[in-house]
Amino acid sequence: MNLHEYQGKELLSSFGVRIQRGIVAQTADEAVTAAKKLTEETGTGWHVIKAQVHAGGRGKGGGVKLAKNLDEVKEIAGQIIGMNLVTPQTSAEGKKVHQVLIAEDVYYPGDNEPEEYYMSVLLNRGTGKNMIMYSTEGGMDIEQVAEETPHLIFTEEIDPALGLMPFQARRVAFNLGLSGVAFKEMTKFVSALYTAYVKSDASLFEINPVLKTSDDKIMAVDSKVTLDSNALFRHKDLAELRDKREENPIEVEAGELGLNYVDLDGNVGCMVNGAGLAMATMDLIKHSGGEPANFLDVGGTADAARVEAAFKIILKDPNVKAILINIFGGIVRCDRVAQGVIDAYKNMGTINVPIIVRLQGTNADIAKDLIDNSGLDVLSATEFQEAADKVQEVLA
């Protein structure tokens, strides 16, 4: 589950990570109130207005702007709220902005120039250890840094039994070229960040940029936080931060029906029981020259109600030109699934795309007879390849 920047920053702050302070606003007037409040507390008077959407590269798309007085806060917030923000990480239509973060300007002049660093915390699946990746080249595309100047990216792997050791935090500060107050600040920042990552069961933290202010404070100016959805049951407060408006609406609906559904770009809808078989089915569709429109695992109990719910979800995708149902009857008997398919089909009236059903396992022959004699426009298959070939035939 992804968090908005402002939610991620609040999470970090609750673990003692210094952040660029800000207040979220839904309207231009709320933005002005927020800016006034921030000015009372810190007194700089300048603010950045930041679109809150689940996508990076907002700055490049015009979703992050500096306001030098309250009139500008109102004007810019008014422009950004409601816009469709297009960034290198969104689709061409962009993402609708529902709210903005009003943040204090932290790039104020002082003894030193502000400096931007990159820092992320993530799992290295190769070694089975968490790692901190960081670079002096912050504020820009880390992919580009990795491509052009890979020697400027450092990693620190953390032993899960020991946790982040103090010498590791110091090494991060050293490699970033820091000294004095900023060095100490960075070691505190890194250890608080790592604690936050572990304690919140996150799967990714990306802070780009981490800022060294002109007066040597180290703080998170941006935050991308991904939490492990499978661990949310033990973080009820964090689970509530989910913003469904940022997610694919068909996936949200499928999730509420208890179906594991992932929307894809192809035109062959798939209805399968079991995640492994669903992956294999997608592979076979591709191998036979097609493109899966989705991943869909209906789970163990493929009864009429679930099959019907799954049909409806698949058909919401206008790209679907054929549906392949591939069910292995182990615990669930194939004839019951076949009856479920027939009942669901009849309940739904007309389905305008061809359907290919492959049922294999317990009572597969009875199931095939049921389908073949149903009088419905449904093709049956017994073999995996045969099913994929039939999909190609109906699409041709």
Among 37, 66, 68, 245, binds ligand GDP (CB under 6 A): 66
**Contact status, residue 335 vs residue 370, Cβ threshold 8 Å:** yes
Partnered with residue 294 across adjacent β-strands are 263
Q: Of the ranges 101-109, 171-179, 282-290, 352-360, which one interacts with ligand GDP (CB under 6 A)?
A: 101-109
The piece of 56-64, 127-135, 301-309, 384-392 that touches ligand GDP (CB under 6 A) is 56-64
Binding residues for Mn ion, rule CB under 5 A, total 2
Give the single-character DSSP code of 292.
Answer: B
Report 212-231 residues binding ligand GDP (CB under 6 A): 221-222
| Footprint on residues 201-260 left by Mn ion (CB under 5 A) | 208, 222
- Find out whether 227 and 202 touch, Cβ atoms under 8 Å: yes
In the block, tokens 């107050």 appear at: 181
Please tell me the distance from the alpha carbon of residue 331 to that of residue 120, in angstroms, as a whole number.
Answer: 44
54, 44 in Cβ contact below 8 A? no
DSSP secondary-structure letter at 346? H
At 148, which amino acid appears? Answer: E
Which of the 8 DSSP states describes residue 221? Answer: S
Nearer to ligand GDP among residue 5 and residue 335 (C-beta): 5
For 4, 53, 386, the CA distances from 243, given in Å and listed in that order, are 8, 10, 42
Kindly state whether residue 354 participates in binding ligand GDP, applying the rule CB under 6 A: no
Query: Choosing among ligand GDP, Mn ion, none, which partner's interface includes residue 64 (Cβ < 5 to 8 Å by kind)?
Result: ligand GDP
Question: Applying CB under 6 A, does 107 fall inside the site for ligand GDP?
Answer: yes
Active site residue 104: no
> Minimum CB separation from Mn ion for residue 12, in Å?
14
The nearer residue to ligand GDP, 209 or 292, going by C-beta atoms, is: 209
Nearer to ligand GDP among residue 66 and residue 348 (C-beta): 66
**Active-site option among 118, 134, 197, 345:** 118
Q: In what order do the strands lie in the sheet with 260-263?
A: 260-263, 294-297, 268-272, 322-329, 355-361, 378-381
**x/- contact string, 137-166, with ligand GDP (CB under 6 A)?**
--x---------------------------
Q: H helices then E strands: how many in the chain?
A: 13, 18
Dihedral angle at the C-alpha atoms of 323, 328, 329, 335, nearest 10 degrees?
Answer: 30
Tell me which of ligand GDP, Mn ion, none is bound by residue 58, counting a contact when its beta carbon lies within the kind-specific cut-off of 5 to 8 angstroms.
ligand GDP
Q: Please indicate whether residue 206 is annotated as part of the active site.
A: yes
Positions annotated as catalytic residues are 118, 206
Contact positions vs ligand GDP (CB under 6 A): 48, 50, 56-59, 64, 66, 103, 105-107, 139, 208-209, 221-222
Contact positions vs Mn ion (CB under 5 A): 208, 222
